[in-house]
Amino acid sequence: HSRKALASELAATAVGEVLARFLRAACMFCCWSVSEPPLAPGRWRRRSLTSGPRLVYRPEPLDLHLGMFLPTLLNQATPEQMDRFFTPAWNLQIIGTYAQTEMGHGTHLRGLETTATFDPATQEFVLNSPTISSIKWWPGGLGKTSNHAIVLAQLHTQGNCHGLHAFIVPIRDMDTHVPLPGIVVGDIGPKFGFSEVDNGFLKLENVRIPLDNMLMKYAKVEPDGTYVKPPSAKLTYGTMVFIRSMIVGQSALALAKSCTIAIRYSAVRHQSELKPGEPEPQILNFQTQQHKLFPVLATAYAFTFVGQYMKQTYNRISGDIHAGDYSGLPELHALSAGLKAFTTWAANGAIEVCRMSCGGHGYSRSSALPDIYVEFTPTCTYEGENTVMMLQTARYLLKSYSQARGGQQLQGSVSYLSRLQPQPVSAGVPPLNIQDLASLVQVYQLRAANLVELAATSIQQELQLRRSQEDAWNSSAIDLVRASDAHCHYVVVKLFADKLRQVEDPAVTSVLSTLALLYSLHGIASNSGDFLKAGLLSVPQALQVSAHIKELLIQLRPNAVALVDAFDLNDKRLNSVLGRYDGNVYEHLFEWARHSPLNASEVHESFHKYLKPLRSKL
């Protein structure tokens, strides 16, 4: 039960070190650095917005200042506003947050009630929270830390409402930190996870700010109140797109940490008997344990590459936007929304699989898995509730589908809707090579195209019943979410296949190809109904998929520990007794227990206060 058990795993493969080098290069997704050691247990580093100093990360009050306040200024502030706000914010004189969500309104942004009414007489905006449901709710750092907030509010000028716009609102005195007049602000209280973060509320009561506190890089209000609209309405939501793109990388990191812990522990833990009278084997030798953990491992690699792609795509389209080209913004918005939902849903469930696969010790916080779950699971809700995110992606898919049916050639992730016709059941089952990744990519394409067409057909049928467009959409929402899920699943499989072509080392390519096949086939097995109903899979082929998954588990077994070691997550970063690199789990588990706060004294005060008096009365 030591590192020797894990060392024997690495000895079985010659690709461990090459994998580690490859993953260190590939895992620079979003703004997370995975290759540098942390400064303290349980913390990892996040890159600053430029080449400046690196900051330690756990969920903390400054997260929205760094992750949303500063990026919003970079993307939406004028040069003059950058001088006024960004430099002080970079130096932490201004500490900001991003106040969008309201008590009664979350993902449906058009429903936000906070108002910003322009007063031309004073050249000021007057901000108000007109109802109890309009109180800003949830922004991290708002409760006690921030002295400024970027507030999303409905812009009113010259008697017209022009929708949501961003305003920089001072909320606390820069010297005393006392809330400013008209500002009612505080912490919302304990919640599930993020205990270190002072998520807050903000009520605005006739708060006046200068005209140039509206972020006006794109949309503008002239001194006479004239409104100049932006080139694209989606530019207002650029910060959310950035965060959603980043969350895809966070999903990969959470999965990498979870499966590293579970697989390392499964190589150390010996339990039960495969054959009577023989020593207890490593639980990683049990097929059921492999079937739990190896698909999670494959998903962690897949999401790593997707996170990298999203970072590159965001940077590319952001560059195009700065150059005046807004054509890529709709796809970026749809892709970031869909993949945010797809990856966080999958990761949320997979973290729990890893925890349960560690048996009783998985319940202990010494494993780090309960903390990983609690810190990660809010991603399914914040920056857009996942079902609503899938429906936003569906709108883009249906629009693209309509364009493709009209003969328009599509580009990007939806280009398959132009090239491929959904496969009718009557056409028979196409030849499917379950050992060929290109064949699997094609069948995922066909599944996505089929479900997009089914969703479009459902809406048309509802409209023929003389229902309104809105009612037809709601009556088809289940189909729309399934279509978005299938589209995102196809994108992930395709990106995994694309990544393999960039790998030059044959040994690494071989192992990653096995992972890619496992990810793709496990997805078919888990969604076999879609493929069977679309005529893309026969029952014998479905049986072949299940059989080949078992073969892939056997192939991955010798490389399992090397594959998680390749994530290069050191012990401080994992902060897990079960996932220790040296494999000395039991010694350190006992030591961890000995340091429990209840063991600070041999006889706890509760004995003298409660138990002893109780015994004396018996």
The annotated binding site for FAD is made up of: 101, 140
Indicate which residue of 9, 102, 331, 383 is catalytic. Answer: 383
DSSP letter for each residue of 242-298: HHHHHHHHHHHHHHHHHHHHHHHHHHH-B-S-SSTTSPPPBGGGSHHHHHHHHHHHH
Reading phi first (left if > 0) and then psi (alpha if -120 to 50, else beta), residue 180 is in beta
The SS3 call for residue 435 is coil
Widest CA span in the chain: 91
DSSP 172: B
Environment class of 504 (CB within 10 Å of its CB; exposed 0-12, middle 13-18, buried 19+): exposed
Distances (CA, A) of 335 to 397, 412, 539: 10, 10, 33
List of residues 6+ apart from 406 with CB closer than 8 A: none
Q: Kindly tell me the number of DSSP H helices and DSSP E strands found in the chain.
A: 23, 13
H helix runs in 358-407, sequence order:
369-376, 386-405
The pair of structure tokens assigned to 567 is: 């994530």
563 neighbors 515 (Cβ within 8 angstroms): yes
Contact 452, 438 (CB under 8 A): no
Contact 241, 555 (CB under 8 A): no
Measured from the Cβ of residue 65, the count of other Cβ atoms closer than 10 Å reads 22
H, E, C per residue of 89-131? HHCCCCCEEEECCECCECCCHHHCCCEEEEECCCCEEEEECCC
Rounded CA-CA distance 317/333 in Å is 11
Phi-psi region of 226 (alpha: psi -120 to 50; beta: other; left: phi over 0): beta
CA–CA gap between residue 458 and residue 262 (Å, rounded): 43
Catalytic annotation present for 383:
yes
CA distance 296 to 358: 14
Distance CA 135, CA 201 (A): 7
Amino acid in position 62: L
Instruction: At 413, list the tokens.
Output: 């992730």
Q: Which of 451, 100, 491, 526 is nearest to 310 (CA)?
A: 491
Distance CA 38, CA 414 (A): 39
Nearest to 30, CA basis, from 235, 301, 306 = 306
Binding annotation? 101, 140
> How many CA atoms, within 13 angstroms, populate the side-chain half-sphere of residue 124?
10
Q: Is 420 helix (H, G, I), strand (E, B) or coil?
A: coil
Question: Among residues 341, 299, 332, 266, which one has the least CA distance to residue 523?
Answer: 299
What residues are annotated to the active site? 383
